[in-house]
Structure 1
């Protein structure tokens, strides 16, 4: 069996076209519609859908490689598409564990639907374990959701929004409700995405005014708080791995640009290229040493999800850890690449300038640095005594 080659799907030609548009997307603060159209044609939106349901049948580890490659070309495009891939990945994780509740996500993705991720809420540091959004049960088994979701990537283009809310009125309340709603007059997408970086994601604020999730799109009801339910594990695992993949791709692109620049720049003092300068060589070596650790870790932990490795209570610390390492390492590598490139990298037209702004977003995604450290500390030291 031959090894998976991301270039079979993200061809060199496609990657270069996407890269060629990234600067204009960022400058215009617009959604990369052309990128989405080409990625859809390439089968990218159905990459994690099983082949017998119309997809490419790829594994989480293989899609991680694809996302790294896409992020090298256009980080914002990769991060936006990530949120669709998360839901198709969750569907696969659950299906692999004998739960087919998200079959409609797989079939929808194969048919061209775009799924967005409506979990984040302002001030909600419980993330998956709580919600300020009201989920009100209806007589026909549907739910009406009211609340505000932030950082809703794919804001202008999604067709289905996967979200959660808190049911406080049912006999077994409180219950966290996971469901999907479509676009209608009860869903308002604000045009408010004006940020420092990752501008092409168009991760706009979404207002829910009694948005209805039909009964057949209410996929899970689980108790609030830490919960071993497969949907919680599925969301957390796929989200953290694919997010780390995007930032690993940014790190690789920054490293490549630093190498390219060092080979081109010449010292007036010595007449030699900066690639021969001992200090520059040391800095690039440090960047490479840090980067080289990331892809194998991603491949290993993605493989463990696929093969259902038993990490027990350590799962969440391992997943938080790979996200934190990838985002923090990527930022350090981009910082060093800026120094290698010199003052020209400070101009907005320089690709490194855009990467510098894009990589800053990594600290704000769950798990943030504080949460990641708390999770890992609890895994190794036990919970804080009450």
Structure 2
């Protein structure tokens, strides 16, 4: 994965401090199913919540590849913290890509960096499931003000977020697919949390459902249709940063398996441990996944400035970044394949470590990793993605399997 440094040694040290804090509290976050407050405080202290915000607005001006590298390192220490960080940066990317020409969002981008605001999204809705491209609720605008009420089955870290990006129909008479996204600071909204989050994995994301009500200025509505925001930014950035999180989980599990085999080899010099072949398979899976993610990150960053006017970019054609159905296909296949291969890699690590990996509390425990990585195939169901992507492939005329 891309070097996560944002400006040399100092930035790498900042990230290392966050990773150390996340690792120290990962087991208790998982065991207690609690928000990773210590790691989040460290992220704020190091200024990383504004990593992608342009330097001119007080941020670090990071590329998506740099942020993906951060997600990977953090998730290797604590998957919940890594996922929260990735989901925050997805929302930041949407604001930077589609809001900086508007005064309200230009000022808001500066606030993200200066105040280290934590952004969350409310895209799912009771009655439509996980289809973020449909909304039942509508934003009502009158006299320069808006009002919005939404019932959400999940709002990840909603009780701890400072700002919510909420999807809704553009107006009361709009079809379900005619959506906008509204940026709502906590002071403008009320989230009434319903239910609890006692999940198999990713327990620290605290993704309970809730009823959300908000009022504010109409300028808080991003000026671009959500269909364009989703296609151009939210979907590709989600799949690329999630890929960083998932490979981070897998990489840490495989590293534990290698440490286990090294300990075995020291006890029996000259004897190849029986799990060595599985280690090779797991490492190979990691290489394949990271190779795909690395290429797509490079293509994305080559043609996207993410609001940083000083960054030199090229056309999508020169960058090799796909468009239209080809881009949707590439992102869907990336999400599907990485989520499944990471699971396979973690499972191989467990089989290498045996009971030492199965038990909690050992240097080689990977039970938390296995439970966390299972969420990857459920965050936008792989079955749904496979069906939709198959239909996209049928409609495309491009050659398959060419180098």
* Candidates 340, 365, 372, aligned match of 2:379: 365
Give the superposition deviation at 1:100: 8.0
Identify the residue that residue 339 of structure 1 maps to in structure 2: 351
DSSP-derived class of the 1:151 partner? coil
TM-score w.r.t. the length of structure 2 is 0.83
Distance 2:294 2:104 in 1: 27
Check whether the contact 1:179–1:213 (CA below 8 A) recurs between aligned residues: no
* Candidates 277, 280, 299, aligned match of 1:282: 277
* Candidates 108, 111, 127, aligned match of 1:108: 111
* Candidates 115, 130, 140, aligned match of 2:143: 140
Check whether the contact 1:93–1:234 (CA below 8 A) recurs between aligned residues: yes
Give the superposition deviation at 1:3: 6.3
Q: Superposition RMSD on alpha carbons, in Å?
A: 2.8
DSSP-derived class of the 1:143 partner? strand
TM-score w.r.t. the length of structure 1 is 0.86
DSSP-derived class of the 2:299 partner? helix
Identify the residue that residue 5 of structure 1 maps to in structure 2: 5
Check whether the contact 1:143–1:213 (CA below 8 A) recurs between aligned residues: yes
Q: Which moved more, 1:355-364 or 1:340-349?
A: 340-349
DSSP-derived class of the 1:207 partner? strand
Give the superposition deviation at 1:334: 0.9
Identify the residue that residue 245 of structure 1 maps to in structure 2: 244
Deviations 1:342-374, CA, capped at 9 Å, x for gaps = 1132223354111111111111112x2123223
Distance 1:95 1:160 in 2: 15
Check whether the contact 2:29–2:204 (CA below 8 A) recurs between aligned residues: yes
Check whether the contact 1:25–1:31 (CA below 8 A) recurs between aligned residues: yes
Give the superposition deviation at 1:177: 2.2
Give the superposition deviation at 1:254: 0.9
Distance 1:51 1:75 in 2: 28
Provide the aligned length of Structure 1 versus Structure 2.
Answer: 370
Deviations 1:116-158, CA, capped at 9 Å, x for gaps = 11112356356232113x1241312333222222332222211
Q: Which moved more, 1:313-322 or 1:172-181?
A: 172-181
Check whether the contact 2:68–2:244 (CA below 8 A) recurs between aligned residues: yes
Check whether the contact 1:258–1:341 (CA below 8 A) recurs between aligned residues: yes
Distance 1:375 1:354 in 2: 31
Task: Tell me if 1:176 matches 2:175.
Answer: no
Distance 2:176 2:138 in 1: 11
Task: Tell me if 1:187 matches 2:191.
Answer: yes
